[in-house]
Amino acid sequence: MTLQNKIFFSASKTYFFSSLFFPRSLRKDVSTLYAFVRVVDDFVDQVPADKKGYTAFKKKYYSSLKKDSGENVIDDFVSLQKKYSFSQEWIDAFFFSMELDMRKQVYSSVSELEEYIYGSAEAIGLCMARMMGCSDLFHARMMGKQMQLANMIRDVAEDVSFGRTYLLFTQELADLSEQTTHAHPDAFVRCMRKNISLYESWRDISRKGLSSLPYRYRVPIRTADMLYSWAVGVIKRDPFIVYRRKVKPSILRILLYACVSFLRR
């Protein structure tokens, strides 16, 4: 297993196993993309954030646009960026969102959340669209957007431990710590269902773009979409599950949904 595959596998089983259904020619490129963004994310997702490591990595990335850095994760990504002509604005937006994670704790409106999600997820969706030769950039952005919100819904407890709260909540809740939400269970359930409703509205829009994907790429994208929808459905039925465990699909479920996706192509 390559370094990129190892990083990709440890970062997201849902994305990793879904990506196995891409044509062989694209799998390596998908791993290269996700390994790069995961390494950056790992600098941020520490307590405290590794600002020094992040800054050094970012500096090496921008330098590598002119000369190889000597680090495979960076240099392979830059080669990928050039191969598919990723817009530099997409990558700049990604770094901007990662920096928001190091200075912003709470998102108080949908517009604030969307600003963060653009760089952290929509920009990645745009890269994926370019890699798949898909011209429907609007739905590519929406797919990344809805999956990111699904992650935020699933990872409430983990994000709180990092000192961040992405989900929108009202004054009924001072924060989304387990102690606070258990003291105000009805308010927390309303909070989660409000955010889940937003996710569902974005998901329904993004799914309209699945038919525009090249035929051979629909299985992995639809599989990931279905798996996230399943996870959010589990949380919708029992919002407090997010404090007991991270809702993740089994390999059997991934394979089952991949088969369903194949039949629905």
Q: Does residue 172 sit within a domain?
A: no
Which of 48, 150, 44, 143 lies closest to 100, judged by CA?
Answer: 44
Instruction: Answer whether the bond into residue 48 is a cis peptide, omega within 30°.
Output: yes
Domain for residue 64, yes or no? yes
SS3 106: strand
Domain region containing 33: 3-164+177-263
Mind listing the pLDDT tens digit for each residue in 45-96? 989 999 999 999 999 999 999 999 999 999 999 999 999 999 999 999 999 9
Q: Does pLDDT of 264 surpass 80?
A: no
Q: Which residues contact 153 (CB under 8 A, 6 or more apart)?
A: 167, 192, 195, 196, 199, 232, 235, 242
Q: Kindly state the average pLDDT of the residues 246-250.
A: 94
DSSP code of 240? Answer: G
107 within some domain: yes
Sign, CA dihedral 191-192-195-196, equals negative
Number of domains present in the structure of the chain: 1
Percent above pLDDT 70 for the chain: 100
- Which pair of structure tokens corresponds to residue 9? 């596998």
149-179 pLDDT tens trace: 999 999 999 999 999 999 999 889 999 999 9
170 belongs to a structural domain: no
pLDDT digits (tens, 9 = 90+) for 216-230: 899 999 999 999 999
Q: What's this model's pTM, rounded to 2 decimal places?
A: 0.94
Of 8, 30, 12, 9, nearest to 21 (Cα)?
30
Residue 106 pairs in a beta bridge with 165
pLDDT in the model for residue 265 = 67
Does 171 fall in a domain?
no
**At residue 142, does pLDDT exceed 90?**
yes
Tens of pLDDT, residue by residue over 122-140, are 999 999 999 999 999 999 9
Backbone angles phi, psi at 65, to 5 degrees: -65, -20
Question: Would you say residue 17 lies in a domain?
Answer: yes
User: Residue 149 belongs to a domain with what CATH number?
Assistant: 1.10.600.10
Q: What is the mean pLDDT of the chain?
A: 94
pLDDT at 10: 79
pLDDT at 210 exceeding the cut of 70 = yes
Residue 169 lies in a domain: no
pLDDT tier, 37 (very low <50, low <70, confident <90, very high otherwise): very high
